[in-house]
Structure 1
């Protein structure tokens, strides 16, 4: 009898066939079985009632006319339909006259559409506030706030600078080069200018051994992000932690650095697992929305990279309903004769000349130099995937067959059902 292991794919799942006798390990973080004592709403309210290293939110909002809340865009599974109504109610209870603007932290992504905003926030929220998509390329909408530790210039959205109070709303999860998402990341790259983001994501920083999942100490990217939040005067954060089902299991509120640090430590405890080195590693991006393009799928590949044996085959499972995720990203791989060619060109690029999507291409090239990658994704992407020096398969069965053709029928296999929700630690 063949067992079936469900792997997240878009808004559903694909079934991975596991044959008897297979040498299969499954890396599932403790978060998948974590059950909070309270409902999601109670979890959020409890955090707001006991802020970390910060006065309570009602004290901060009193007398503040212009309040800006930085919030994540459509590419992030932040449960804002739960968090924002509670946050807005707290603000309005203490300061009914406050003018509230939601500044959507698009970073370098495209703006969220009206339909995506309605789906993410809910119509009741949108009817109560002003919503503005950050546009990183709009230099006229930015304000200069000084020089970062890296030497880069800090330019951020003027709405944040002109606010009487700046709040960040988001979530904390492992991040493949910033260590963790959330907190300071809402400012950089969330509402920073294109030139600031590009400098922060330069080749030398991405190549740092400290620019890795779950690492904050000595991480040069994180260091710039912290200074950005300080310069922007980010005053308060509300960050949740979610499980693989996108359910709120924890929440922190309060000081942007102290609360974020506490949230990161919680995430580490419930997502860290020991590597299980294997000949074939299968990973996902946890389904929609993070598996909506090839660009985002690189994140799940880094989890596989962390537990792959030398020359292992990586199978990446992602629907990619939005396609590649960027022409620059595609051409940086496809226009070079090999991944090494991509890497050589990127590493020769000075910090101040960093180009769009270079960081994602650099990480993918790093993986491809060491491993064969097979993507299980939409058939319309097959040709593009191959041009980017990867292989493509229409099904998990075919991907496994291709991988075993390289590594042998008895090859060891490690499966990571949610590659973006896990920290793989070396034994």
Structure 2
């Protein structure tokens, strides 16, 4: 049989004997077809908010309004969401001073070209857009202390806004449970200091810091506290399918709307897996597979389905390379994975090093299974991460079978590793 797996803006075709196939794990999102158009879904959500007044009502009398928007690494359909949010705000307050604040979190700064691809020329040319820089202390201000004990420091524009709102999307998240909602503030527009405290080794190692888990998740507790303290008043979040189309939308209070959205998503994306010798997955293609750093997310789905000592085949184009210097340097400088993990867990919360959470999770995966990594990144870079480079999924499958010395090795395929919660 042939299975198409996302890779960059294209797909690779895996050809597989069904006799060795344990299963293809897919979200049921692809089977969900709403009667309304994407724009209609967003409009209906904005018109019927959860746990909040309407956005136009919130805007009345508010002069400085900030809309937090996701960055270039997130496939949020901002061309659909942002015009409606702007229109609704101006319906309540035509004279509002609106700033769109790009939530880069710990990522690199978003380019103008990426902003145009995200919003379109009209919004980029006509609206005030500021790209958040988590390392620019002059643009940040402390507003409290996180439950974890770290300082809560966020962008001044958000802290000084008369009304703070956000757009985003909800998907399974490999340590925050789900993306969206409260994550617009932390890590979205937070200082590196706050992100590091929240993403500490102790929290990442916590058994509740897993895909689809919210209750008792220490990272989520920090994130929701940050959103409340920053007075995030209204969110518009969507659920998208593999074609990046809106199939569901929620709006309103950052927690109430998020609960409704993730409840909907959870029913569609939970899957059960029979452990296999080889698990093949991806990061859902562009824009989520632009670097190795982001691809760790999809690998966690395979981690939950692969047998100990098995092989994970990961497809992620990674045209941006490693995605984080500190992330890369950790693997370049420390080859002993057990020692690396122990170091992370024993690092005090306020001494967390940049990107150690991604390194911590990748090291955990590598201790369970061999990883063959299909990408456009340099082979030597892939090898520094203790992964085996490859360019084609069928060649990678042959490599995996040779490594296991088992031509009959069982295979599970998870075409989009970030779209499912593997139980």
Q: Identify the TM-score tier after normalising by the shorter chain.
A: over 0.9
Partner Cα distance (2:114, 2:65) in 1: 23
**1:277 CA drift (Å):** 1.2
Distance 1:143 1:337 in 2: 38
Matched, 1:397 2:394: yes
Q: Structure 2 CA distance, aligned partners of 1:94 and 1:139?
A: 33
* d(CA) in 1 for partners of 2:42, 2:233: 18
**Do residues 78 (structure 1) and 82 (structure 2) align?**
no
TM-score (norm 1): 0.97
How many Å separate the matches in 2 of 1:127 and 1:384?
A: 38
The aligned counterpart of 1:292 is: 290
Structure 1 stretch displaced more, 381-390 or 213-222: 381-390
| 1:20 shift after superposition | 4.9
Alignment of 1:27-426 (within 5 A): 27-378=25-376, 380-407=377-404, 408-425=406-423
Residues in 2 aligned to 1:183 and 1:174: alpha-carbon distance in whole angstroms: 12
Q: Distance in 1 between matches of 2:16 and 2:30?
A: 21
2:6 touches 2:416 (CA, 8 Å); kept in 1? Answer: yes
Structure 1 window deviating more from structure 2 (193-202 vs 84-93): it is 84-93
Question: Is contact 1:284-1:318 (8 Å) kept?
Answer: yes
Q: Supply the RMSD in Å over aligned alpha carbons.
A: 1.0
Distance 2:334 2:151 in 1: 31
| Conserved? CA contact 1:180–1:213, under 8 Å | yes
Contact 1:338 1:389 in 2 (8 A): no
8 Å Cα contact 2:154/2:189 also seen in 1: yes
- For these two proteins, the number of residue pairs brought into alignment is 422
For residues 332 and 340 of structure 2, the distance between their equivalents in structure 1, rounded to whole angstroms, comes to 9
* 1:10-69 Cα distance to aligned partner (Å, 9 max, x none): 001011111253334100110022111100000000101110111111111111111100
TM-score, structure 2 normalization: 0.98
Give a deviation string over 1:236-260, Cα, whole Å, max 9, x none. Answer: 0000110111000000000111111
Partners of 1:239 and 1:345 in 2: CA distance: 37
Confirm or deny: 8 A CA contact 1:334 1:389 kept in the other structure. no
Question: In 1, Cα distance between the equivalents of 2:186 and 2:250?
Answer: 20
| Structure 1: 5+ residue stretches without partners | none
> Distance between the aligned counterparts of 2:33 and 2:76, measured in 1?
18
CA offsets 1:113-156 (integer angstroms, 9 cap, x no match) = 01110111111222332000001011121111111111111000
Gaps of 5+ in 2: none
